[in-house]
Amino acid sequence: MNPPRFPLFSILDLVPIRQGGTASKAFSESLDLIRHAEKWGYHRFWVAEHHNISGVASAATSVVIGHLAAGTSTIRVGSGGIMLPNHAPLLIAEQFGTLESLFPGRIDLGLGRAPGGDQPTARALRRALGSSGDTFPQDVMELKSYLAPAVPYQVVRAVPGQGLDVPLYLLGSSTFSAQLAAELGLPFAFASHFAPDSLHDALRLYRKGYKPSPGNPKPHVMVGVNVFAAATDAKASVLFTTLQQMFLNLVRGRPQPMPPPVDSMDGIWNAGEEAYVSRMTSFSVVGGPDKLKQGLTKILAETGADEIMTTAQIYDHQARLESFEIAASVFKEIQHSSLSASMAGQATAGASIS
């Protein structure tokens, strides 16, 4: 009999820099968040590589992962993700081999093919690599070879890294990475928290074309969801305006540090901007515990996701902690319901067989 399955819940953090704040404060607050997340039962905590964005402090992603892993003891820590075309695969194998050696069994390596910034920034990052998103499949395979056991007469090795088999995950917001993840037999995380348009097509292609691999016998779907929780729906909606303002600034080409929430977005954006931001953030669940449970249950039913990657750009740190704590309680209710339903289904199946 297969063991009962229930969805996992994890956190994607951008290590946000508030207006008037500093990167140092952002690192301190993200460390505080992951320590609470570990206590609340979240499965993993990822940080993302972004460059030349004034409100995001996680550019040196591997360094930040080491900071977070050193301050915790059990929660998995990793990248969501490393933008591989910005780096030589050997360098990333060495970095994550080092992290895995320091924190055995706790490190994840999520990989993306976007630049993590605008085109001038991408050129500054990639000036000597000759790499691009077009070489992503080859770069992934090269990276995998550095983390696999060495073969006879292998000239270049990742030390540390070789033979450590750090778990790989592919990230994407299109069908390209979904199909590549299926071909390579890797877990797949879709960036539906900011680019949901191709979600269902990507998941269909991923599951249909999935080829089992060592350590990954079945497809594993992770979907990004903006989760803003508070004691009441109204309070959560106010918190959500921080994210709406951040996306609005991106749409206008003027990214800024994380702004404080406002009572209403009326008068801040026009109708076209509101429609565009609303589409980008449509995979968001905003509200009190009841509304949170309804929204997350609906997303799980629609996507069949194995794991929800929650993210929340909340200006006040205490409010951010409270949001993730409320969400953790809701997640446990959902997991309990899923586990009970799975066990009941297996019991029914066992009875029919006998």
DSSP codes, 134-165: GGHHHHHHHHHHHHSPP-TT-----TTTTT--
Q: Is residue 3 part of a domain?
A: no
Q: Is residue 74 part of a domain?
A: yes
Find out whether the peptide bond into 187 is cis, omega within 30 degrees of 0. no
Q: At 217, which amino acid appears?
A: P
**Total domain count for the chain?**
1
Q: Is residue 172 part of a domain?
A: yes
- Mean residue pLDDT of the chain comes to 92
Q: What is the mean pLDDT of residues 295-324?
A: 97
Residue linked to tokens 């993306």: 112
pLDDT at 354 over 50: no
Q: What is the pLDDT of residue 338?
A: 76
Q: What is the pLDDT of residue 134?
A: 78
- In DSSP notation, 14-60 reads --BPBTT--HHHHHHHHHHHHHHHHHHT-SEEEE----S-TTB--SS
Q: Confidence class of residue 6 from pLDDT cuts 50, 70 and 90? A: confident
Q: Is residue 1 part of a domain?
A: no
Q: What is the pLDDT of residue 114?
A: 80
pLDDT at 261 over 90: yes
Alpha-carbon dihedral angle through residues 216, 218, 219, 223, given to the nearest 10 degrees: -90
Helix axis angle, 289-303 relative to 317-353, nearest 10°?
A: 50
Report the alpha-carbon distance of residue 226 to residue 241 in Å, rounded. Answer: 12
Q: Is residue 126 part of a domain?
A: yes
Report the alpha-carbon distance of residue 271 to residue 277 in Å, rounded. Answer: 10
Q: Are 182 and 210 in contact (CB under 8 A)?
A: yes
Q: Are 96 and 129 in contact (CB under 8 A)?
A: no
Report the alpha-carbon distance of residue 163 to residue 145 in Å, rounded. Answer: 9
- In three-state secondary structure terms, 170 is strand
Q: Confidence class of residue 3 from pLDDT cuts 50, 70 and 90? A: very low
For residue 204, the enclosing domain spans: 8-348
Residue linked to tokens 């070789």: 162
Q: What's the farthest any 2 CA atoms get from each other in the chain?
A: 67
Report the alpha-carbon distance of residue 301 to residue 93 in Å, rounded. Answer: 36
Say which residues have a Cβ less than 8 Å from residue 141's Cβ, sequence separation at least 6: 184
Say which residues have a Cβ less than 8 Å from residue 91's Cβ, sequence separation at least 6: none
pLDDT at 351 over 50: no
Q: Confidence class of residue 2 from pLDDT cuts 50, 70 and 90? A: very low
CATH code at 196? 3.20.20.30
Q: Are 16 and 242 in contact (CB under 8 A)?
A: no
Q: What is the mean pLDDT of residues 30-39?
A: 98
Q: Is residue 2 part of a domain?
A: no
Q: What is the mean pLDDT of residues 41-62?
A: 95
Q: Is residue 190 part of a domain?
A: yes
Q: What is the mean pLDDT of residues 125-138?
A: 69
Q: Is residue 255 part of a domain?
A: yes
